[in-house]
Structure 1
């Protein structure tokens, strides 16, 4: 993780808001869909998987819409399943719309954490474009409460991807001032360092150049 990564902050904003009434309604939907199981033994992850499965497979529009209202309540844990659904169900207009709405309902911090976790663990970059678009949309919105906490919520890999994609467009004056001596030591072979020499703001000596946003771990 990055130097600024704050595990306690991530844990705080990863919390879900699912209530017992929500779970009861999910079980009712499952019963209507012919799923007969001992739901009393289900864990959080079990209910998450069940809800996503029913949301995708049901043929009843009303059931799908009802479940869609529950998805964002799973917090950051729902982000990865939603992004994968968005990518894999591109011909299903209703599902696409409901997934987009569910992502929009998520608190920004929870969305950032979920996107970072997806980017951190994916192997073949299948979902990178979709995930990065969502992340960059948050950045471009310019909410300072989001911009200032972003480096504390994402992994080093995600932070690197953000800077590689739109380095020059990210407004981080406060972040630069406060953390310019702590974030991501530059590497000679790094394309950011090679291509963004103009970002340098201070040179202590020939072997120790300091960059604002031109640092990658």
Structure 2
């Protein structure tokens, strides 16, 4: 054997002799023992888009259905027979009771979304914003329905035609939920006051939940 020849270390016959410059030979990969058993590095699956599940829309459905139903019934307020059938405390109690039910459903939905959320909380803007819009439409439709059947329920200039009244009560709903009622449209009976109080209570609950979330995020 030539004495000047560089001896190959013992581990080369097992792995194979590497080239002098591996970068010259493209695609060179040294053969490793038990390569199929090597576990590849794990990749963290991060969702690109935050989707809103079906339970969220189910929680919003009472408010959306209630708003549509109230607007539809408001179109028939000129029917004397229908007015006589709906007159009385039972009709007013139904409006208030359904509004409270829809508000509780949406409040529970917001509570679950906030509880299950993780930082960062940017994805909460759309579900909470959708809940607020649903509540505003629901109470605006309820105010309209109550006024169309019982005009003495509100004091102020709300307009003479249907669409002007609808816009006026959307305005009332927005100012009420922001607790900034300007006093140009005022409730005149117990039913109207109960509706406005329920809407304000929902807003205070949403604000309290949001403040609690921000404080918890700041502590972390």
Structure with max Cα Rg: 2
| TM-score using structure 1 length | 0.26
| TM-score using structure 2 length | 0.25
